[in-house]
Structure 1
Amino acid sequence: MIPFLQPFFKILYDTSGLIQWGGLTAIFIIVFAETGLFFGFFLPGDSLLITAGVLAAAGYLNLLHLIVLATVAAILGDQTGYAIGRQMGKLLFRKKDSFLFKHEHLERAKEFYDRHGGKTILVARFIPIIRTFAPPVAGASEMKYRTFVVFNILGGMFWVLSTVLGGYFLGKVIPNLEHYINLVIFIVVFVSFIPIAIEYLRRRKK
């Protein structure tokens, strides 16, 4: 990691502190950027939403407002990614690596899309990194817009509801869980990267 960025990442991955500082606005921006912009692949979408659910259970956030806002951000993010991919077309796959863009992630999303088709937009919501690159791949591959919108809305709703409500119900069942949020985040990150590890092992066997 570049040394001068370490303080930034420290703040970014302190999801509890970030939410208490920026509230729903911070949640909207991060969810939108992670799902809609290439550089958003490193943002903590899953852990952020689960943390938000835990904090909603503790009374820091309004649950309904959280769900609605995060869902809108997720849907708009994917729509933006699709529009970027549609605009760039095949040029997207010739884009060179940069600090904010990794061609390897794009290729991984393309392989996933080739295997699963339209369902990629729904399933990818639950897979870090693939989640960011699947919409532009769908756009560049000329997925029908109506099909994309359906999978986008369903995926956005399922992702937000499962993560936020998961955190909310955990927060209700386990007293003072908000004080142990780092442990929760560790478990979430570990579980969310299991599909990536499985995919990596599958590719190595080829």
Structure 2
Amino acid sequence: MGNFESWKDLLNPEFYIQMGGFWLILFIIFAETGLFVGFFLPGDSLLFVSGIYAVEIINESIGSTGSDFLDTTILATAVAVAAIIGNEVGYWFGLKAGPALYKKEDTFLFKKKYLFQAHDFFEQHGALAVIMARFLPVVRTFTPIVAGIVKMDKGRFLIDNIIGAFLWSFSLIFAGHYLDKIFLDEFGIDLKTHLEIIILIIVLVTTVPLVLKFFFGKKNTKDYSQH
């Protein structure tokens, strides 16, 4: 078990795996969308690194099946379910209290600009935004809230929510698990010893689109304060 040493640990996916394993991972994934304050949590990198440790995580929590594939599938499925529940809570929150968020003042845990960005993203991509947002940090936190605010059809939202959650969870967790095995078997490289570099790469890949949109989309930012 790990120990909390600094605030940097909160951005380190390995910290959560060592501290709470399976159940903490599920809570983090739920919180990232179910609790809008979870936008700073390491979703993508947490799933990838969890894939690398999939067998250990399942063995220490509910007991290994003896199959790498089944252990990884169990982990990915559980994460997908947590992500689905998180999005449904976010949708409900947007439906009930979302409009008031546009009038809420910024705080340390809440930035109104993220809500605007998610709204623009939703308007641009429509129903597909719920699926696509899964792969974009920050945006995935606020998109379900926006879906609730604009009163997206509940059935359509649920379908897109399920598709997006399973695509996100299975692609990243299985990528982490099997890339680790490939690198170890073919090149003798243990990805567990290079996690900092891997996390940095994932962060860069997933945040570049947001950075580009921030700089090139400023002029298109709308005022939703009257909504």
TM-score when normalising by structure 1: 0.91
Of structures 1 and 2, the larger Rg is shown by: 2
- Which one has a larger percent helix, Structure 1 or Structure 2? 1
Q: How far does residue 205 in structure 1 lie from its aligned partner after superposition? A: 6.4
CA displacement 1:63-93 (0-9 Å, x = unmatched)? 1221121011100000000000001142232
- Mapping of 1:157-168 within 5 angstroms? 157-168=166-177
Per-residue deviation, residues 163-196 of structure 1 (Å, max 9, x unmatched): 1111111111112211211111111001011110
In angstroms, what is the RMSD of aligned CA positions? 1.6
- Counterparts of 2:109 and 2:84 in 1: how far apart (Å)? 22
Aligned to 1:184: 198
Instruction: State the match for 2:106 in structure 1.
Output: 97
Task: Find the aligned partners of 1:138 and 1:166 in 2 and give their Cα distance.
Answer: 29
1:87 to 82, 96, 110: 96
- Percent identical pairs in the alignment equals 39
CA contact (8 A) 2:77 2:166 kept: no
Residue 9 of structure 1: how far off its partner (Å): 2.5
Corresponding residue number in structure 2 for 1:30: 28
CA deviation digits over 1:133-173, x for unaligned, max 9?
00011101111101110110000011101111111111111
TM-score for both structures, normalised by structure 2:
0.83
CA distance in structure 2 between the partners assigned to 1:184 and 1:48 by the alignment: 11
- Identify which of 51, 59, 79 aligns with 1:53: 51
Partner of 1:3: none
Instruction: Tell me by how many angstroms 1:55 deviates.
Output: 1.4
In the comparison of the two structures, how many residue pairs are matched? Answer: 199
Structure 1: which 5+ residue stretches go unaligned?
1-5
Q: Distance in 1 between matches of 2:12 and 2:134?
A: 22
Cα distance change on mapping 1:136 and 1:205 into 2, 3 Å: closer
Equivalent positions of 1:124-203 (< 5 A) are 124-175=133-184, 176-203=190-217
Higher relative contact order, chain-length normalized (CA < 8 Å, sep 6+): 1
Residues 81-133 of structure 1: CA deviation (Å, up to 9, x unaligned) = 00000011422322221222110100111111111111111111111100100
User: CA–CA distance in 2 between the matches of 1:47 and 1:112?
Assistant: 22
Contact conserved, 2:38 with 2:141, CA < 8 A, in 1? Answer: yes
Aligned to 2:162, what secondary structure does the other structure show? helix
Structure 1 residue ranges, 4+ long, deviating more than 3 angstroms after superposition: none
> What SS does the aligned partner of 1:143 have?
coil
Distance in structure 2 (CA, Å) of the matches to 1:144 and 1:69: 25
